[in-house]
């Protein structure tokens, strides 16, 4: 085997791994997080989890990705440990589809129709179709389909290149002697386990083994233990992912490892036990790529079949190995393991943003109650909620920045923009609520009171602020553009109220009805009301503009306030009457 064969092998392996990764990520973008959502919503029974785990893995071509998602589901308390056991078992079956696709490279026939099934015959056509879709189509969906075809083509070309590069090894006695050593069950399992742990993909390591079958030196005795070891090695991804997670998430990784290890032990006892008893005649037969796919599939179906009824025992084993910790307190708001699926991670971030908006609305409602009467209990609750809002902002912004660095489709980019704007506006709304709290606390401590007229005016403005934040949060949660369009007229009325209330209170100060300190506190509260409304307006404009794939805030606001829109003017007049001061 020459240096050129080695270079060809390296190049083929690189193309193979790149194609597998690129095809999987393209499939994920095309799905837009739907695969993970299906797993989340439809695993109320273990058999459903098994079928869905197999189906999703077959589609995205990665059992590692599915098991990492399972760890994330449990860590974020979306699923229980019992629910994900079926998914883990199904993922092992779903991953076998890759080996069947790769086995097509071994087709040899003089029949033209059968020869067309060989990847070297049809992948050039797929590659051409893929590059046309990718370069010349503007629709995101067609581009993703093109990327999938390109990834599959590169994968198959890499497989062909590896097979051709290693073919000369059949003439090297040292290579044959090395493979004979792997016939030892322990060495074979270790070899498969180490290879898979390094590249963190059982599908890829099986593909490499299938490429080596072109040497004609791979026998059943050497292939079988290597394949078993590959199933243990693939657990490394879930184990690494479980570091720093909750106890149940660690148990998920433990279940994955236990399931594959017990399955390997059972398969070895059965296979080598029968071989010892009756001396199986095919053990020393050479295998091809299709035979590897058969062995891989039979083993995974066998392991699932014998262990599926004992899912409860696997759960108990994991709980016994990883005991509960009464001091455990997970404070993470977002699940970093979902980042392997950007679209799904964005959906989860949206749920957390919704919760942040609801918390901001709740906090402002508590602050507005302070206009009537100070409450030490509410003071404590508002302060704690403000800390939570700051925590939401810190974690969600960091999370969205990490997602933004990934390759996203247009829809996901728009969602990221909307979430980023929402987080900032919700946090600022919380800050102005805290400012109202600070002023009312000062009034309570220094025994300062507003006049009845001033209190009445603040209550009118507070009702307008309560309505606008209700509308803004509801519009964001439901992505309701029509509701968002009703916010700007109300924001204009609140601006008018600010000017009116400042003028009326200034007059009271001039007449000696209120002190300067009293007046400064009044103005500060009114300003906070108006700024809360401004941030609700910012959020509404973001919802409206991004729904049209634009973000021209100044143009929208200028057009809305010009008086040319009869709906705007009608709503504005309605709110003027509703929140009339005198």
Show Cβ contacts of residue 403 under 8 Å, excluding neighbours closer than 6 positions. 339, 342, 345, 346, 349, 412, 416
C-alpha–C-alpha distance, residues 476 and 471, integer Å: 9
In this predicted structure, the answer to whether residue 475 has a pLDDT above a threshold of 80 is: yes
Show Cβ contacts of residue 289 under 8 Å, excluding neighbours closer than 6 positions. 99, 102, 103, 104, 105, 106, 210, 211, 213, 214
Please give the backbone phi and psi of residue 286, each rounded to the nearest 5 degrees, phi first: -75, 155
Please write the tens of the pLDDT for every residue from 108-124. Answer: 555 555 555 666 677 88
Q: What is the pLDDT, as a whole number, of residue 112?
A: 57
Q: What is the pLDDT, as a whole number, of residue 367?
A: 85
Extract the tokens encoding 496. Answer: 């008018």
Q: Which of 41-50, 325-334, 438-447 has the highest mean pLDDT?
A: 438-447
In this predicted structure, the answer to whether residue 185 has a pLDDT above a threshold of 60 is: yes
Please write the tens of the pLDDT for every residue from 504-525. Answer: 888 888 887 777 778 888 899 9
Phi-psi region of 558 (alpha: psi -120 to 50; beta: other; left: phi over 0): alpha
Extract the tokens encoding 543. Answer: 């919802």
For residue 203, how many C-alpha atoms fall within 13 Å in the half-sphere facing its CB?
30
> Rg of the chain's alpha carbons, rounded to an integer?
32
Q: What is the pLDDT, as a whole number, of residue 281?
A: 84
C-alpha–C-alpha distance, residues 104 and 206, integer Å: 14
Place of tokens 């078993």: 228
Please write the tens of the pLDDT for every residue from 59-103. Answer: 777 777 788 888 888 887 777 888 888 888 998 898 888 888 878
């Amino acid at each position: 085997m020459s240096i050129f064969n080695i270079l060809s092998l390296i190049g083929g392996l690189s193309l193979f791994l790149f194609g597998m990764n690129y095809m999987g990520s393209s499939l994920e973008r095309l799905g837009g997080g739907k695969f993970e959502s299906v797993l989340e919503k439809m695993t109320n029974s273990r058999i459903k989890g098994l079928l869905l785990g197999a189906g999703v893995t077959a589609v995205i071509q990665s059992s590692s990705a599915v098991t990492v998602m399972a760890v994330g589901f449990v860590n974020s308390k979306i699923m229980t440990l019992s629910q994900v056991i079926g998914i883990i078992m199904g993922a092992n079956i779903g991953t076998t589809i890759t080996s069947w696709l790769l086995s097509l490279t071994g087709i040899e026939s003089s029949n033209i129709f059968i020869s067309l099934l060989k990847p070297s015959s049809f992948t050039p056509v797929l590659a051409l179709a893929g590059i046309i879709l990718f370069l010349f189509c503007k629709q995101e969906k067609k581009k993703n389909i093109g990327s999938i075809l390109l990834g599959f083509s590169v994968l198959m070309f890499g497989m062909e290149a590896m097979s051709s590069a290693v073919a000369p090894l059949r003439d090297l006695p040292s290579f044959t002697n090395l493979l004979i050593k792997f016939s030892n069950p322990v060495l074979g399992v270790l070899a498969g386990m180490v290879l898979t742990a390094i590249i963190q993909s059982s599908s890829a390591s099986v593909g490499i083994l299938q490429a080596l079958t072109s040497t004609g030196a791979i026998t059943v005795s050497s292939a079988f233990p290597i394949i078993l070891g590959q199933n243990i090695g693939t657990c490394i991804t879930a184990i690494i992912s479980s570091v720093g997670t909750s106890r149940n998430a660690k148990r998920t990784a433990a279940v994955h490892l236990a399931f594959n290890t017990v399955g390997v032990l059972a398969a070895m006892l059965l296979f080598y036990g029968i071989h010892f008893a009756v001396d199986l005649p095919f053990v020393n037969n050479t295998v091809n790529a299709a035979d590897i796919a058969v062995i891989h599939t039979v083993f995974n179906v066998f392991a699932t079949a014998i262990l599926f009824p004992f899912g409860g025992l696997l759960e108990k084993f994991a709980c016994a190995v990883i005991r509960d910790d009464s001091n455990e307190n997970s404070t993470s708001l977002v699940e970093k393991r979902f980042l392997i699926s950007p679209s799904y991670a964005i959906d989860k971030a949206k749920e957390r943003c919704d919760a942040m908006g609801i918390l901001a609305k709740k906090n402002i409602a508590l602050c507005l109650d302070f206009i009537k009467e100070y409450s030490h209990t509410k003071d404590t609750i508002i302060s704690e909620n403000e800390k939570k809002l700051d925590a939401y902002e810190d974690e969600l912004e960091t999370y969205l920045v990490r997602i933004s660095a990934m390759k996203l489709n247009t829809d996901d980019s728009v969602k990221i923009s909307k979430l980023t704007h929402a987080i900032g506006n919700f946090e600022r709304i919380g800050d102005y609520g805290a400012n109202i709290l600070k002023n009312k606390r000062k009034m309570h401590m220094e025994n300062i009171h507003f006049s009845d007229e001033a209190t009445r005016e603040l209550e009118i403005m507070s009702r307008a602020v309560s309505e606008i934040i209700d509308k803004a949060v509801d519009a964001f949660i439901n992505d309701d553009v029509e509701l968002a369009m009703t916010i700007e007229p109300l924001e204009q009325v609140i601006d008018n109220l600010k000017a009116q209330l400042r003028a009326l209170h200034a007059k009271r100060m001039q007449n000696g009805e209120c002190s300067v300190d009293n007046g400064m506190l009044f103005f500060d509260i009114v300003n906070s009301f108006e700024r809360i409304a401004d941030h609700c307006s910012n959020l509404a404009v973001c919802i409206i503009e991004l729904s049209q794939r634009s973000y021209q805030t100044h143009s929208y606001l200028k057009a809305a306030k010009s008086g040319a829109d009869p709906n705007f003017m009608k709503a504005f007049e309605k709110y003027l009457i509703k929140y009339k001061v005198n």
